[in-house]
Every structure is written in C-alpha cells, then in structure tokens.
Chain A
Amino acid sequence: MSTLVLNRRNLLAAGGSVLAAGVSGLLLPARAQGLAPTASMSGGANNYLNGAAIVDRIGKGGFWMSGTVRRAGDGAPLAGQRIQIWAHTTEGQEHEPQSHGATLTDKDGKFRLEMPQIIPIFGQPHGHLAYDSGEFKTVFLRPVMRSAKDKSLEGHFVLQPA
C-alpha cells in the first residue's frame, strides 16, 4: 500500500512552484510543458482489494462513478485501461468484497461504472479509485463528494509508464 502523504492541494502547490521556476529559467530551451502525471492521494489505497473483478455494475446501482484516463506528457486518451472502484455504500462497508468492482476505459479513455449510493464514512462522503494494472505506475485516488446527496463522483487519471 502506498504511504504517500501527497494530496492534490500540496501537489498543485509543488507543481506551481516547479512551473514558476521553469518559466523563470531563461536558460531552458522553449518546449511544451506536457501533462503532469496524477499522484496518488493520501488515504487513496485504504481498503483496496487486489484483483477486483470487472463488473457491469456494483450491487444494485443508482450512483455513477466516472472519469478519464490519459497519458502523461501528450495527454493522449488511454483505451482499455482497468480502473478499480470501491466505497462505503448503502450496500456495504469499504472493505467488503461486494463494495468493489472494476471497469475498462473506452476508446476515448473514459470510464463509467454504476454502483450503490456512496454514504459518508470516517466523516467524509468519498470514493476510491485505483489504476493497478502494471503497464503504468499505480495510482490511488480518493475524491470527496461536495454533498452526501450527490448521485455521482469523478476521478481522473494521468498515467506515466511504470
């Protein structure tokens, strides 16, 4: 399991300062900055189960988890990538096998999986997503819902070669 303490906010801050340093570095040759890879979020890997099966839907559904998978650098959409999704829902706790499922990205690098309604656990309504297939570096996301009443949530991946 990842023990990274990076989160999106301090990653953006770090990325911003690197960008600022790069821009001010006049000695660097002019070239496209490129799309930076997504870092794992703090707590993203919690209650991850290795090898969750690809499913049409997790449980009875009613809630949509969606997102995109792109390649770092040029941002090209990555088709056929396996994304695992899990959360504490109306049908089970986070660690329980029936709360986990996986899906594949389409030709545009998009994925969408129906699952039961996510409810707050440990004080925040949040979901988990993982890219863990090995071709690219493993990434764990832990997006938080704006409201516990939301019926959907997104997670976006930019992957770099392993």
Chain B
Amino acid sequence: MRLARGTLIWAALVAAVCVPIALAGTSDLLAYRSPIYILAGFAGIVALGLVLVQPLLIGGYLPGLSGNRGRSAHYWIGGALVAAVVVHVAGLWITSPPDMIDALLFASPTPFSPFGVIAMWAIFSVALMAAFRRRLGLAPRTWRITHMSFAVVIVFGSVVHGLLIEGTMETMSKAALCTLVLAAAFKVIADRVWRNRATARGEGTANGL
C-alpha cells in the first residue's frame, strides 16, 4: 500500500513536469526558431518544473527523499535551477541581445520580463547564501526567514512570468504546472509556520525558535 502510494506520488510529479515539456515539444513555433532559442525556451520550462520539485523536497513530501536526503536533494536541485536559469538567459541573449538587455535593465515592453528577472535574482541570491551559509555564520532562524522570503518571490515571479508568456508551452499544461507550483509552495510554508508555532507554544519562548 505504501509502495503503491509512493509510486503514485512520483508518477504524478514526473507527469506534472514532463507533460508540459513534451507538449511544448509539439509547438508549431519550434519550426521557426534557432536551436539556441529552442534550448533557451526549454531551459525555462525545466526551471519552472524544478521550482515545483523544490518545496516538495524540503517539505519531505516525496517518498524515499524525506529528512536529510530530501534536504540534500533540495540543495543540488537548487544548483540545477541556477544552471537552467543561466542557460535560459544566455540563450535568449544570443537569440536577441537588445531584447535581453532591455529585460535585464527593466526597460522591456513585455509585462512578464520584470517578473522573470526578479525571480532570477532571487534564485541567484538564495543559491549564493546557501553556498556560503556556514561561512557567513547565518543563524538558522535568519536563514530560514530569508530563504522563505526569497522562495515566495521566486515562486510568485516564476509563475507570473510563465503565465504571461506567449511561447511554446501549451496553455492548459502550463496553467496546471503553475497551479501545482503555487500549491506546493503554499503547503510547505503553511506547514512550517504551523510547526514553528506549535514548537514555540510547546517550548515557551526559551530559544525564540
């Protein structure tokens, strides 16, 4: 029974991430794009998929990847997310330098660009902080609050960015993936806040956690 449930959760996650990628692969627009532009677009879709995986890992919702294993996977998937965003931005820069420069300077006419750029800086910031967390001597509580704040910006920015783009992604599968990203982030944040409150009540205000 537990095995069946685990298989089901993993199958649902693989479908949630891979179906939008597969449907984007059938887009008519691909015929008119250069390989680098196509690569940049898919890197963006993969990044959105990874934004779904991240809260699921840290929340311990994925069978076989709870606790420290989940945290470790979250750390490495974070690195993969940075790589996907770099490929996305670099590929678009090569495709049309002036459009990418406009976006990075917040001077773009497209309404979705600033959301993507803000999410990108939030992803880079949180990755740098995670890499140098011990060296910076960040207190666990400071780290948790900072990371969670960045996570909210990343999730919200990525979803708005993705939804407003008219590109290779199929509309329904894109909306479904975005909904799941929001739901997963909301669930993990709600669980954490709830747990912290319960802990604070249980232990009084002794350590302020």
CB-defined contacts of B92 to chain A, threshold 8 Å: 122
Decide yes or no whether B12 CB sits under 8 A from chain A: no
CB distance from B120 to the nearest CB of A (A): 15
Complex-state Cα separation, A47 to B29, whole angstroms: 20
CB-defined contacts of A7 to chain B, threshold 8 Å: 109
Decide yes or no whether B66 CB sits under 8 A from chain A: no
The contact string, 1 if C-beta is below 8 Å from chain A, for chain B 157-187, is 0000000111100000000000000000000
Complex-state Cα separation, A90 to B34, whole angstroms: 12
Q: Is the CB of B107 within 8 A of A42?
A: yes
Decide yes or no whether A120 CB sits under 8 A from chain B: yes
Q: Is the CB of A121 within 8 A of B107?
A: no
Indicate which residue in B31, B99, B107 contacts A122 across the interface (CB closer than 8 Å): B99
Decide yes or no whether B191 CB sits under 8 A from chain A: no
Within 8 A of A (CB), among B69-124: 92, 95-96, 98-99, 102, 107-110, 112-113
Within 8 A of A (CB), among B1-53: 29, 31-34, 37
The contact string, 1 if C-beta is below 8 Å from chain B, for chain A 100-126, is 000000000000000000011111110
The contact string, 1 if C-beta is below 8 Å from chain B, for chain A 1-32, is 10101010000000000000000000000000
Q: With A42-B102, A43-B102 in contact, do A121 and B109 touch (Cβ < 8 Å)? A: no
What is the interface size of chain B, counting residues whose CB is below 8 A from a CB of the partner? 22
Complex: chain B residue closest to A48, CB-CB: B98
CB-defined contacts of B29 to chain A, threshold 8 Å: 119-120
Q: What secondary structure prevails in chain A residues at the interface with B?
A: loop
CB distance from B33 to the nearest CB of A (A): 8
Decide yes or no whether A151 CB sits under 8 A from chain B: no
Complex-state Cα separation, A145 to B108, whole angstroms: 17
What is the interface size of chain A, counting residues whose CB is below 8 A from a CB of the partner? 27
CB-defined contacts of B107 to chain A, threshold 8 Å: 3, 5, 42-43
Q: Is the CB of B167 within 8 A of A42?
A: no
Q: Is the CB of B98 within 8 A of A47?
A: yes
CB-defined contacts of A3 to chain B, threshold 8 Å: 107
Complex: chain A residue closest to B99, CB-CB: A122
Indicate which residue in A44, A47, A94, A124 contacts B110 across the interface (CB closer than 8 Å): A124
CB distance from A84 to the nearest CB of B (A): 16
Q: Is the CB of A123 within 8 A of B112?
A: yes
Indicate which residue in A42, A47, A89, A148 contacts B109 across the interface (CB closer than 8 Å): A42
Q: Is the CB of A125 within 8 A of B166?
A: yes
CB distance from A38 to the nearest CB of B (A): 15
Q: Is the CB of B32 within 8 A of A88?
A: yes
CB-defined contacts of A47 to chain B, threshold 8 Å: 96, 98-99
Complex-state Cα separation, A144 to B108, whole angstroms: 13
Complex-state Cα separation, A101 to B125, whole angstroms: 44
CB-defined contacts of B113 to chain A, threshold 8 Å: 123
Complex: chain B residue closest to A147, CB-CB: B166
Q: Is the CB of B167 within 8 A of A123?
A: yes
Q: Is the CB of B32 within 8 A of A123?
A: no
8 contacts between A and B (CB under 8 A): A42-B102, A44-B109, A47-B99, A93-B95, A119-B32, A120-B29, A120-B166, A123-B110
Residues of B within 8 A of A (CB): 29, 31-34, 37, 92, 95-96, 98-99, 102, 107-110, 112-113, 164-167
